Structure 1
Amino acid sequence: MSSVTQQPKYHVVCRECPVERLFEDGDEATDLERKHAKETGHRIVVGRVR
């Protein structure tokens, strides 16, 4: 039986527009969150997915 290690992914969703992306890097997810919120004033949610 082989053991596969899954890397965490980060889901970024804007609650006020269609922006939604999946990242493998938490820093990239946070960067999008901050940039989009600063530019638009929208509420952004970032969650770690497996």
Structure 2
Amino acid sequence: MSSTAQKPKYHVVCRECSVERLYDDGDEATDLERKHTKETGHRIVVGRVK
């Protein structure tokens, strides 16, 4: 059995509206977090998932 390394994914969720996305790139996830927070003032959570 061979093991393959899985790339991490980044889950972005707004706690105050319906914005929710999954990214392969941490920088893209952070960009959405910053942009959405700046535009709306909403609380965003970014988490790394397998």
Q: Deviations over 1:9-50 (max 9, x none)?
A: 000000000000000000000000000000000000000001
Counterparts of 1:7-18 in structure 2, within 5 Å, are 7-18=7-18
| Runs of 4+ deviating beyond 6 Å | none
Q: State the TM-score, normalized to the length of structure 1.
A: 0.96
1:1-50 matches, within 5 Å, as 1-50=1-50
Q: How many equivalent residue pairs?
A: 50
Calculate percent identity across the aligned residue pairs: 84
Gaps of 5+ in 2: none
